[in-house]
Structure formats: C-alpha cells, structure tokens
C-alpha cells in the first residue's frame, strides 16, 4: 500500500493483512489480566487497532477507481500523470467497519461525503 498502488498489489496486501490479523487473534499471548494496569494488554489493543486500520487503508485504496491527491493507482494514469474521475469520485469516503465478533472478518461499508465547490470549478492541474 505505497504511494503508487495497483489493484493486484492491493489484493495481495489485503490477503496478507487478513492472514496476519487472524494469526494475531489466535496466537497472541498476553501475560496477566485486565483486572490491574496491564501494559502488555494495552500494547496488544494497539496492535489490534493498527491491523484493522491497515486493512481499511488497503480496502479504501482498492475501492477508489481514480488517482487522486498524492496517491496513484497505476491503472488510472495517463503517461505517468494522475487521472482523476470527478464525475464518479468527487467525494470523501467515510467507512463503517463492523465485525460479528472480536477478531472476526471485517465488514466494510462505504459512506460518501460529497465534495461540492461553489466558487471554483473542479479542474485537473497539469505538471507537463
């Protein structure tokens, strides 16, 4: 999930993150309990969050069928320049994330927050 990303690379990344996450939830060893302050438990909670966030970033990158901002989808470029698609993608994605049980498969729901500009029309900057 780099600055330049492709559909193939993202699918590969998602599969690897899911594998890592499944391993984390089955193999993680946390000493102590939640009854007292437990720094190992705090760290494990943070890793669990990062694994969810990693999958979300890859899912969002795969979902967006354009090159926008500082990131490039290699499929959506014209001679090395980013190709935006304002007709279909002029919105910010806000994702709902759900799981049937802790550590279970994540279900992502995309909500769109439309971007509307009244005084300046949308345009694509040319660096050529």
Partner 1 sequence: MRLTVEVWRQEGTEVAGRFETHVVEGVEPQLSVLELLDALNEQLIDGGREPVAFESDCREGVCGACGVTVDGEVHGPQDNVPSCHQRLAGYADGSTVRIEPFRAGSFPVVRDLIVDRSALDDLICAGGHVAVDAGTAPDADAVGVGAETAELALDFAACIGCGGCVAACPHGAAHLFGGSKLAHLSLLPLPALERRQRAVAVVEELEELFGPCSHYGECARACPAGIPLTAVAVVNHERLLAGLRRRL
Residue ranges that bind partner 1, judged by CB under 8 A: 31-32, 36-40
Considering the complex, state which of residue 37 and residue 70 has its C-beta at the smaller distance from partner 1.
37
Size of the chain, expressed as the number of residues it contains? 128
φ, ψ for residue 74, nearest 5 deg: -60, -25
Considering the complex, state which of residue 40 and residue 99 has its C-beta at the smaller distance from partner 1.
40
Distance in angstroms between the alpha carbons of the first and the last residue of the chain = 26
Considering the complex, state which of residue 27 and residue 78 has its C-beta at the smaller distance from partner 1.
27
Least distance between partner 1 and beta carbon 42 (Å): 10
Q: Provide the pairing of β-strand 77-78 with 91-99.
A: unpaired
Considering the complex, state which of residue 36 and residue 109 has its C-beta at the smaller distance from partner 1.
36
Least distance between partner 1 and beta carbon 38 (Å): 8
**Between helices 39-63 and 7-27, what is the axis angle to 10°?**
160
Distance between CA atoms of 4 and 115, rounded to whole angstroms? 24
Least distance between partner 1 and beta carbon 118 (Å): 29
The residues facing 96 across adjacent strands are 109
Least distance between partner 1 and beta carbon 83 (Å): 42
């Amino acid at each position: 999930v780099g600055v330049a990303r492709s559909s193939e690379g993202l699918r590969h990344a998602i599969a690897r993150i899911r594998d890592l996450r499944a391993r984390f939830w089955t193999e993680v060893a946390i000493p102590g309990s939640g009854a007292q302050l437990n720094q190992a438990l705090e760290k494990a909670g943070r890793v669990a969050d990062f694994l969810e966030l990693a999958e979300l970033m890859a899912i969002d990158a795969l979902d967006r069928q354009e090159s926008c901002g500082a990131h490039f989808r290699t499929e959506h470029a014209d001679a090395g320049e980013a190709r935006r698609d304002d007709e279909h993608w002029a919105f910010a994605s806000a994702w709902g994330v759900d799981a049937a049980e802790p550590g279970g498969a994540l279900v992502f729901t995309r909500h769109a927050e439309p971007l509307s500009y009244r005084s300046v029309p949308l345009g694509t900057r040319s660096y050529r």
